[in-house]
Amino acid sequence: MLPLSYKISFYRRIHMKKASIYLDRAFTVGTVDPRLFGSFLEHLGRAIYGGIYEPTHPLADEDGFRQDVLDLVKKLQIPIVRYPGGNFVSGFQWEDSIGPKASRKKRLSLAWKTTETNEFGFHEFMKWCKKTNISPMYSVNLGTRGADAARNIVEYANHPGGSYWSDLRIQNGSPDPFNIKLWCLGNEMDAPWQTGQKSAVDYGKTAREAAKLMKLVDPSIELVACGSTGPLIQTFGDWELTMLNECYDYVDYVSLHRYYENPDDDTANFLANTLDMDDFIHTVSCLCDSIKGKKHSKKTLNLSFDEWNVWYHSKPLDPLIQAAHCWETAPPLLQDVYTFTDALMIGGMLITLLSHADRIKIGCLAQLVNVIAPIMTADNGPAWVQTIFYPFAHVSLFGRGTVLQTLVDSPRYDSKDFCDVPFISAIAVSNENGDLTIFCLNREEQDNFLLSINLRDFPGYDLAEYLQLSHPDRNAVNSQAFPDLVKPVSGKTGTFENGYYQLEIPPLSWNVLRFKSINSKDN
């Protein structure tokens, strides 16, 4: 006679929703470029001042950098940071940010209606990058300025010496060139709010000439052209075709930007937005390839998804803060407080990015500290991490290697804006040690899901660690008072049955399964 507990568990499993994941070592998507796990720091709100830089803070180092923030940033293992904007860069004069601090000019930042003191400038950023082991992704102003200012900063940053700008850098205390490899040709130049907005033809020509001059100064650099602000802007598509027609041969990447919202607290629909993101990436790839075809070019343009995140919590508040703090330095703008559900969406977006690893070489979670960010700080107080910190950290740490085509057989649902949304999305990455990591989002809201992972092509593998982010309250947040309300748990769970690894995952959950081979180099 079977024990009662066995019978109950058997019947539970029979009635549980089920999904299967199939993998084959030979079927790969591509190699992950580590720059996919980049982030973004803009002179906006408290990202710089009061974020990474606060000289009066008890934990500030000799350069005024907050050590507590630095430590949290290091935990994310971010390879690149886009800087100094964003909308900010389109009115920025980079020369204001060099030289003795006391004589740096204060300027109005029209993008955010703030005053930029330039106390934290170019050399300070480069120093911060060195301390965090991050490479800069520097954006130039193609809004209110153009090719001349752009080629000058390349000369300032990268030319060894013996010219006006490179000698000025040496005079300013940096004898060695910085060799900044990656540059953005402006920011969201299609957007009506951008200072110096351009038509697609005008931008394409400006980008081409800036690219030409910048690469004449340093042919080793790589350049990102501005794609559309997002797929919802009316000129999307036309913008890519027209501007690339002008500058295709001169640039290396096209940018994509996308932020998602959940204003109606509709979890099912919100989490389904990864389908939109997938479609967006696919469409931009096709737009690039159509210009490749038209130009009979041998070059395939890769993608730089250099702004992505969830952004909506602060939107109703920001105009009020802007009005109350007009022209102040570092007002508390775009300080979204992220819920547990937002963290799930970030997990879903990361799965989507990985599933396009063949084409997307650069990604920037926008942004890094205080401004729509995974890390928050209080002035003169502590730093803590938001819910979205965790899925990003998991994928940055364990998602490097080769992405495998990950076939997920899952039941589906319809939501307000989407049809046929799989409850389960997953992606598998195998790394150079042979470790296999599966990232999995469960969109089901009520019940556990039974997940079966076909590991027949991975004999000798066993689960080394299972990380799970789940929470009974989908609107739970971390805060200064309760910094650890939402955080992942680690453990081991599941069993092998006929080459399938089976485990139950909770409703609305982010799951990371780390499998190791008994022959793994780590063992």
Both tokens of residue 39?
């982030």
Task: Single out the residue of 166, 187, 273, 406 in contact with ligand AHR (rule: CB under 6 A).
Answer: 187
CB of 22 to ligand AHR, least distance (A): 37
Consecutive H or E run containing 144:
none
Residues 6+ apart with CB under 8 A from 1: none
Q: Which is nearer to ligand AHR, 218 or 318 (CB)?
A: 318
Pick from 79, 86, 332, 399: which binds ligand AHR (CB under 6 A)?
86
Stretch of 79-87, 114-122, 461-469, 501-509 contacting ligand AHR, by CB under 6 A: 79-87
Of 287 and 366, which CB lies nearer to ligand AHR in the complex structure? 366
Q: How far is the CB of 335 from ligand AHR (least distance, A)?
A: 12
Q: Coil, helix or strand for 406?
A: coil
# of chain residues touching ligand AHR (CB under 6 A): 9
366 near ligand AHR, judged by CB under 6 A? yes
DSSP codes, 91-135: G--GGGGSS-GGGPPPEEETTTTEEE--SS-HHHHHHHHHHHT-E
Beta carbon nearer to ligand AHR, 259 or 418: 259
Q: Which is nearer to ligand AHR, 371 or 463 (CB)?
A: 371
To ligand AHR, the closest distance from the beta carbon of 153 in angstroms equals 19
Q: Rounded distance, CA 244 to CA 253, Å? A: 10
Nearer to ligand AHR, 312 or 413 (CB): 312
With 0-12 CB in 10 A as exposed, 13-18 as middle and 19+ as buried, what is 518? exposed
Judged by CB under 6 A, the stretch of 81-89, 199-207, 290-298, 324-332 that binds ligand AHR is 81-89
The two tokens of residue 509 are 């959950």
3-state secondary structure (DSSP) of residue 19: strand
Q: Of 113 and 131, which has the nearer Cβ to ligand AHR?
A: 113
Known active-site residue 307:
yes
How many Å is the Cα radius of gyration of the chain? 24
Binding residue (CB under 6 A) for ligand AHR from 51, 84, 85, 494: 85
Question: In the Cβ-directed half-sphere of 510, how many Cα atoms lie within 13 Å?
Answer: 29
Active-site residue among 188, 209, 240, 246?
188
Q: E strands within 341-448?
A: 360-365, 375-377, 383-385, 402-404, 407-409, 412-413, 421-422, 424-430, 436-442
Smallest separation (angstroms) from ligand AHR to the CB of 85:
6
User: CA 382, CA 388: separation in Å to the nearest integer?
Assistant: 18
Number of residue whose CB is nearest ligand AHR:
86
Residue with tokens 């599966």: 438
Catalytic residue among 95, 116, 307, 444: 307
With CB under 6 A as the contact rule, the residue among 42, 124, 336, 435 that binds ligand AHR is 42
Distance CA 337, CA 492 (A): 31
239, 190 contact by CB (below 8 A)? yes
Binders of ligand AHR among residues 87 to 116 (CB under 6 A) are: 87
* Minimum distance of ligand AHR from residue 329's CB (angstroms): 17
Q: Supply the minimum distance, in Å, between the C-beta of residue 138 and ligand AHR.
A: 15
Choose the binding region for ligand AHR from 82-90, 212-220, 233-241, 446-454 (rule: CB under 6 A): 82-90
Is 188 among the catalytic positions? yes
Nearer to ligand AHR, 354 or 364 (CB): 364
CA distances from 178 to 52, 81, 153, 157, 309 (A): 21, 15, 11, 5, 29
State in angstroms the smallest separation of the CB of 123 from ligand AHR.
23
Annotate each residue in 281-320 with x if it binds ligand AHR (CB under 6 A) or - if it does not, as one string.
Answer: --------------------------x-------------
- What are the φ and ψ backbone dihedral angles of 453, each rounded to 5 degrees? -110, 120
| CA proximity to 21, closest of 374, 326, 425 | 425
Joined together, the tokens standing for residue 160 give 């060894």
Question: In this complex, which beta carbon is closest to ligand AHR, that of residue 42 or of residue 218?
Answer: 42
Binding-site ranges for ligand AHR (CB under 6 A): 42, 85-87, 187-188, 307, 366-367
Active centre residues (catalytic): 188, 307
